[in-house]
Amino acid sequence: MTILFITGCGKGIGREMIDNWLKSDEKNKVVGIYRSIIEKENELEKYADRLCLVQGDASETQLLEKCFSSSKKIFNDLPQKYLVNAGVRCRSNIEDIKNDTLENLWNTNYFGLRKLLILLVDQSIIKKNISLVYVSSIVANVGFINLDDYGATKAAAESLLRSIAVKYPNSRFNSVAPGFTKTSYANNFMKNLPDLYDWTLSRIPTKRWAESKEICSAINFLLSNHSSYITGQRLVVDGGWLASS
Ligand SMILES: NC(=O)c1ccc[n+]([C@@H]2O[C@H](COP(=O)([O-])OP(=O)(O)OC[C@H]3O[C@@H](n4cnc5c(N)ncnc54)[C@H](OP(=O)(O)O)[C@@H]3O)[C@@H](O)[C@H]2O)c1
């Protein structure tokens, strides 16, 4: 039995990972945090005895602690795999961004990871051969107009993970950096920014956005023992965007 802890599992990549993980082995279990809604919630009924979902903000220590105690209570164990996926975007001129937006951005994209790591240290879980994957973005290491702060949060989180990977070599800490991916974000993007959407298609060598399941495949690789000698790294899944920069 392997328990996967996922933040931001209500939709997009996180929601895809619930199905993916539970389908891949009938003994697998998921402890997940969702904030407002869970897409296709009725389809999860069949997994009721292998799924523990908690609602709230994944950047709050108390909620993370609640997930750990629920995991122990329901599944008799703590998660061995961690997917820090919850993320918010902010597309804005740097001078226009409001303080509360900035705070939310850093809390979710950076401090959520940091607080989880502190909990893993405090509870001595970090030395127990766990594997953690952070969902970053290609924006962490390439410039995009008006994604300044978003890119900065992802770059900071990747940097944090690299240092943690060096300090705790019994476990593994890696990032997946998706390019443009068809999630809830894609629908808004296509509808509200059609010119920008067309530009992204013309710019991606594969001429299409990623499917969520293609990001999940990379996440699964980094969570699994197939990547047992990989730690402190970022795996780019972008249809060739960065290669053609
Ligand atoms: N899609 C892309 O093109 C793309 C590209 C690069 C990187 N990424 C990264 O991939 C990750 C997943 O993105 P996605 O495209 O799947 O986005 P999505 O469809 O918007 O899903 C994100 C999920 O995270 C949840 N969430 C956000 N903040 C949270 C918080 N503080 N606490 C708990 N849950 C929270 C959201 O819940 P609510 O909706 O209920 O608030 C939502 O369920 C993000 O980290 C994103 O930055 C995505």
Domain-embedded: residue 193: no
The residues near 95 (Cβ < 8 Å, ≥ 6 apart) are none
Which phi and psi (to 5°) does residue 6 adopt? -125, 135
Kindly state the tokens that stand for 213. 């399941």
Domain-embedded: residue 203: no
C-alpha–C-alpha distance, residues 88 and 85, integer Å: 10
The residues near 52 (Cβ < 8 Å, ≥ 6 apart) are 29, 30, 31, 32, 67, 70, 71, 74, 75
Ligand 1 pocket mutation, candidates 66, 135, 175, criterion most atoms within 8 A of CB: 135
Is any ligand 1 atom within 6 A of the Cβ of residue 175? no
| pLDDT at residue 244 in the model | 93
- Output the CA 183–ligand 1 centroid distance in Å: 9
C-alpha–C-alpha distance, residues 59 and 50, integer Å: 24
- Output the CA 32–ligand 1 centroid distance in Å: 13
Domain-embedded: residue 92: yes
| Gyration radius of the chain over CA positions | 17
Domain-embedded: residue 204: no
For residue 32, what are the β-bridge partners? 6, 53
Is any ligand 1 atom within 6 A of the Cβ of residue 180? yes
Ligand 1 pocket mutation, candidates 6, 9, 11, 234, criterion most atoms within 8 A of CB: 11
| pLDDT at residue 187 in the model | 85
What one-character-per-residue DSSP string does 131-143 give?
A: EEEEE--GGGGS-
Domain-embedded: residue 194: no
- Output the CA 10–ligand 1 centroid distance in Å: 9
Whether the CB-CB separation of 102 and 111 falls below 8 Å is answered with: no
C-alpha–C-alpha distance, residues 221 and 227, integer Å: 6
The number of distinct structural domains making up the chain is 1
| pLDDT at residue 174 in the model | 98
| pLDDT at residue 229 in the model | 98
Whether the CB-CB separation of 20 and 216 falls below 8 Å is answered with: yes
Q: How far is CA 115 from the centre of its chain?
A: 15
Domain-embedded: residue 128: yes
| Domain range for 88 | 3-180+211-244
Of ligand 1's listed atoms, the one at least distance from the Cα of 181 is: 3
| pLDDT at residue 1 in the model | 86
For residue 214, what are the β-bridge partners? none
Domain-embedded: residue 152: yes
- Output the CA 88–ligand 1 centroid distance in Å: 6
- Does the predicted model carry a pTM greater than 0.85? yes
Is any ligand 1 atom within 6 A of the Cβ of residue 39? no
Domain-embedded: residue 93: yes
Is any ligand 1 atom within 6 A of the Cβ of residue 239? no
Q: Domain holding 61: CATH number?
A: 3.40.50.720
| pLDDT at residue 245 in the model | 78
C-alpha–C-alpha distance, residues 61 and 51, integer Å: 21
Residues of the chain predicted below pLDDT 70: none
Of ligand 1's listed atoms, the one at least distance from the Cα of 10 is: 43
Whether the CB-CB separation of 3 and 31 falls below 8 Å is answered with: yes
